[in-house]
Amino acid sequence: MTPILSARNLTLRYPGGTAPALDAVDLDVAPGESVAIMGASGSGKTTLLHCLAGILRPTGGSVTFASGAGLVHVESLDDDGRARLRREELGFVFQQGLLLDELSALENVAVARMLAGVPRAQAEAEAARWLAHLGLAGLEQRRLGELSGGQAQRVAIARAQVGGARLLFADEPTGALDSATSAEVLDLLLDAVREGRTLVVVTHDPDVAARCARTVVLRDGRVVSDTAREHAADRASVTGGAR
């Protein structure tokens, strides 16, 4: 099957850095896969995610994304092209940074559609549907700062999917949550995979990685292991329905 995402010889050297943060990484991600990226602090996990998602431009190598409209060579896009790709084709769930505390849950999700040119009324209707799908019906008008950490991550997951992104990137999505809430948030991300999306998740949490179909481990910017798990779908349902 054609990978949805393919990195070849991916290298990133930060200005002034002595060693490369990413060193000749090769990685293929199949459509519908859930891939956990693990490794010690400083091993290059976030740098890899940012290069795969077009947030950072690598200093060497290539990243190819199979969009609905054909193959996109992410590393050769300029800043505007990568911003458009992120806005229109990719979904992001980060621990913090993408959501605005002073906006309501509904506005935080709807704004992602409005940035893509969708009129406000339609954007809000789509946002409300996603918030309800993620168990937040009745909380649409709450400001983000008035939601719990787990509820805020549900808003982030709604925002990541509202535009129809087929590929989701998450960076420590459960890092600030207790273990029960982490399991619920992971359930929702794995629901997205069951619904046909692809997930690449950076995590320190072995429980998160254990429920993904595959774990890639980095050390000093290199892939040192890449392990597929059998029966990942069964594992995904272990705490399924806990929300």
46 versus 59: smaller Cβ distance to ligand ATP: 46
Spatial distance between the Cα atoms of 61 and 206, rounded to a whole number of angstroms:
29
> In the 3-class helix/strand/coil scheme, how is the chain assigned residue by residue?
CCCCEEEEEEEECCCCCCCCCEEEEEEEECCCCEEEEEECCCCCHHHHHHHHCCCCCCCEEEEEEEECCEEEEHHHCCHHHHHHHHHHHEEEEECCCCCCCCCEHHHHHHHHHHCCCCCHHHHHHHHHHHHHHCCCCCCCCCEHHHCCHHHHHHHHHHHHHCCCCCEEEEECCCCCCCHHHHHHHHHHHHHHHHCCCEEEEECCCHHHHHCCCEEEEEECCEEEEEEECCCHHHHHCCCCCCC
Minimum CB distance to ligand ATP, residue 161 (Å): 24
- Residue 39 lies near ligand ATP (rule: CB under 6 A): yes
- The size of the interface with ligand ATP (CB under 6 A), counted in residues, is 11
Nearest approach in angstroms of CB 21 to ligand ATP is 3
47 makes contact with ligand ATP (CB under 6 A): yes
Contact with ligand ATP (CB under 6 A) among 18, 41, 79, 80 = 41
Compare residues 71 and 224 and give the one whose CB is closer to ligand ATP.
224
- In the complex, minimum distance from the CB of residue 42 to ligand ATP, in angstroms, rounded to a whole number: 4
Question: Interacting stretch for ligand ATP, rule CB under 6 A, among 36-44, 74-82, 144-152, 175-183?
Answer: 36-44
Q: How far is the CB of 209 from ligand ATP (least distance, A)?
A: 13
- Binding-site member from 14, 96, 120, 206 for ligand ATP (CB under 6 A): 14
Q: Does 44 bind ligand ATP (CB under 6 A)?
A: yes
Binding status of residue 17 toward ligand ATP by CB under 6 A: yes
Radius of gyration of the chain (CA): 17
| Main-chain phi, psi angles of 142, to 5 degrees | -65, 135
Residue of the chain from 6, 34, 43, 108 that contacts ligand ATP (CB under 6 A): 43
From candidates 46, 59, 67, 239, binder to ligand ATP by CB under 6 A: 46
58 binds ligand ATP (CB under 6 A): no
User: Vertex 186, ends 184 and 116: CA angle to 5°?
Assistant: 110
Q: Given the rule CB under 6 A, which of 13-21, 23-31, 91-99, 118-126 is the region that contacts ligand ATP?
A: 13-21
Does residue 45 touch ligand ATP according to CB under 6 A? yes
> Rounded to the nearest 5 degrees, what angle is found at the Cα of 76, between the Cα atoms of 7 and 32?
40
Q: By CB under 6 A, name the one of 42, 119, 145, 164 that touches ligand ATP.
A: 42
Chain positions contacting ligand ATP, by CB under 6 A: 14, 17, 21, 39, 41-47
